[in-house]
Amino acid sequence: MKTYSLDEVKNTFLGKKGTTKRDAYENALRLDLLGETIRQIRIQRNLTQEQLGNLVGVQKAQISKIENNFKDARISTILKVFDALKTKIILTVVKS
């Protein structure tokens, strides 16, 4: 049985790096990981979504969206979330 690396599978089903479909997949994955990171830090800080929302100045539903469906969040809100969690974030800009 032949084994394949993750990059080989991605290249086959999503296209090579730099293609639209592959870039969209990689960006969505990064956003999902960021949302999950926010959720984990919130839980470590013993905060509910409602409590975090109050610290940030948004509704609980917005925190839920950030944690579960990050695509709709504004970067300014994300930065406020990290500030409220007393956590630093390093943003990297990737040029296409």
pLDDT confidence of residue 50:
97
Q: What is the pLDDT of residues 1-32, one digit of tens each?
A: 889 888 888 888 888 988 888 888 887 777 78
CA torsion 8-20-65-80 (nearest 10°) is: 100
Q: What is the pLDDT of residues 58-87, one digit of tens each?
A: 999 999 999 987 666 777 888 899 999 998
Q: Answer whether 0.85 is exceeded by the pTM.
A: no
* Between residues 54 and 33, the one the model is more confident about: 54
pLDDT confidence of residue 41:
94
Q: Please, are residues 25 and 15 in contact by the beta-carbon 8 Å criterion?
A: no
In three-state secondary structure terms, 77 is helix
pLDDT confidence of residue 38:
92
Report the alpha-carbon distance of residue 22 to residue 19 in Å, rounded.
5
Domains observed in the chain:
6-84 (1.10.260.40)
* Between residues 46 and 96, the one the model is more confident about: 46
Cβ neighbours of 76 (radius 10 Å): 8
Report the alpha-carbon distance of residue 1 to residue 65 in Å, rounded.
42
